[in-house]
Structure 1
């Protein structure tokens, strides 16, 4: 049995200083990859970005700031409703800067998605199939 969990949400991408515009976001959880949530951000039918997110980190980000690298999450109080702020850093520019995006999600919707993933694979019961992992690494290497 492979019980995928999928949810489509409208999130807001911050463009420029404070302007936001809606992006359709597809969240997907595959119990075969129990530690990850895939997020695909689209606008006008085009894929803007695809990220594999750590499920536990995403859950912790609903309660407080997490992340120090390319992906950072945290709740924000700058809105009349509960939001999860997701910050993504990408490849470097030739001038030394980096691509940077900030996306805001309605926190209760993300929380509901995570609860559905926990029904499929409870936190702490994730298993890593080492043989499959090594086969993937050798194939991709």
Structure 2
């Protein structure tokens, strides 16, 4: 059975002063971490940023605004074109402001990726291996 989903999308990074520019978004989902989607944004072979996103939040962001912290999402539509707007707040700069990035992804592509993740681990069937994690932590602590 498949336990991993990977998709590369071309998304639009809203660059201050220049408008939108295309970057790659490498999305991955692993059944071993069933609540998360990893997103790596890259341009010209360089990683610009890497985020772990909540899978349910990503799904909810396709239909309504979500997020109050460092990651916020909401649907945006222009005519027949439907996008997911993702806003990321990063580290604090020396002047006290925070790095801020806005990315627009084609909503049907995100929805298709999420459907694939649902085939791997359906919503409600996610399992967090708390007992195994605790046993691993305790065994490491005992061996030190």
TM-score, normalising length: structure 2 = 0.89
Q: Aligned Cα RMSD in Å?
A: 2.0
Cα displacement (A) at 1:133: 3.4
Structure 1 stretches of 4+ with a deviation exceeding 2 A read 77-80, 131-136
Cα displacement (A) at 1:131: 3.0
The match for 2:100 is: 100
Q: Pairwise mapping of residues 51-66 of structure 1 onto structure 2 (< 5 A)?
A: 51-66=51-66
The match for 1:131 is: 131
Q: Does 1:110 align with 2:110?
A: yes
Count residues in correspondence.
139
The more displaced of 26-35 and 125-134 is: 125-134
Q: Is the 8 A contact 1:11 1:23 kept in 2?
A: yes
Q: Unmatched 5+ residue regions in structure 1?
A: none
Once residues 95 and 72 of structure 2 are traced to their aligned partners in structure 1, the CA distance between those partners, rounded to angstroms, is 23
Once residues 54 and 15 of structure 1 are traced to their aligned partners in structure 2, the CA distance between those partners, rounded to angstroms, is 25
Q: Does 1:9 align with 2:9?
A: yes
- Look at both structures and tell me which one has the larger radius of gyration over its CA atoms: 2
The match for 1:73 is: 73
Change (3 A) 1:133 1:72: farther
Once residues 120 and 24 of structure 1 are traced to their aligned partners in structure 2, the CA distance between those partners, rounded to angstroms, is 24
Once residues 116 and 95 of structure 1 are traced to their aligned partners in structure 2, the CA distance between those partners, rounded to angstroms, is 42
Q: Is the 8 A contact 2:31 2:121 kept in 1?
A: yes
Q: Unmatched 5+ residue regions in structure 2?
A: none
Cα displacement (A) at 1:94: 1.6
Q: Deviations over 1:14-33 (max 9, x none)?
A: 00156010001110000000
Cα displacement (A) at 1:80: 5.0
TM-score, normalising length: structure 1 = 0.91
